[in-house]
Amino acid sequence: MRKVKIRIKNLSKNFGDKVVLKNLNLDVYESESLAIIGESGTGKSVLTKCIDGLEDYDSGIISYENINNIKNLNTQKKNEYLGKFGILFQNAALLDSLTVEENLKFCKNNNFKKILNDVALPHSLLNKYPNNLSIGVQKRIGLARAILKSPEILILDEPTTGLDPIIGKQINSLIKKLVKEKKITTITVTHDMQSVYEFSDYTAFIEKGSISWYGKSNEIKKKGNKSLLNFINGLY
């Protein structure tokens, strides 16, 4: 039986006069991989930042297991909640002035060599600096840092952006392997439908600040609504 990990009810978020999220409802299930897709500017990344506590929201409820609404957490509890997440940022967000090893040390887990094995990278990279590495390798290191802390939830923000198709496919395969092996609840924001089909169990399509379609990723082409089908066919 599927178990709800995070429940989002009537979530709304504005930036000034701009409505970004409007009465959005969504459940995230434990040990499943969820893709969030939609046109640029529809609030996908804002939604994940609300979920992990990096962005406050105007109204609605985000509940997590026994936490009724994360909005009501004090600073200490909010930091504890944020610690449950591993995040791969769109640009990997590595510090160029630090070596790969020093970047990984932020997670306070010294099992660097094993984690590099997990993301199929040589140990010799530990002494390298990120700005001397390819974007694809930086993404793998960012992924290593995200899972090094053994998170309950993994958030991936456009994991294949900036990569050529071959490297993008390798990253997708790697994420699929790690998600299945470690059984991490995963939320992926992406424009890459290959990522959706490769490793996401379910997909939520955001349109005008709300979820307009939700279902199994392998049923999108058969059961998607008109807006979703237009989106994946580049007609949006």
Closest CA to 48 of 85, 94, 96: 85
Q: What is the reported pLDDT for 235? A: 53
Please count the structural domains in the chain: 1
Within a domain: 14 = no
Within a domain: 5 = no
- Residues 141, 81, 9: CA angle, nearest 5 degrees: 110
Q: How many CA atoms lie within 13 A of 197 on its CB side?
A: 9
Percent of the chain beyond pLDDT 90? 60
Within a domain: 67 = no
Q: What is the reported pLDDT for 164? A: 85
Percent of the chain beyond pLDDT 70? 98
CATH of the domain at 156: 3.40.50.300
Closest CA to 149 of 178, 118, 113, 111: 111
Model pTM score: 0.92
Count of beta carbons in the 10 Å neighbourhood of residue 143:
24
Within a domain: 17 = no
Within a domain: 163 = yes
Mean pLDDT of 172-184: 87
Within a domain: 158 = yes
Expressed in percent and rounded to 5, the helix, strand and coil fractions of the chain are 40, 25, 35
Residue 83 DSSP code? T
pLDDT digits (tens, 9 = 90+) for 196-223: 999 999 999 999 999 999 999 999 999 9
Range of the domain at 127: 32-54+75-232
Mean pLDDT of 176-183: 86
Within a domain: 25 = no
Within a domain: 7 = no
Distances (CA, A) of 102 to 35, 98, 110: 31, 6, 10
SS3 78: helix
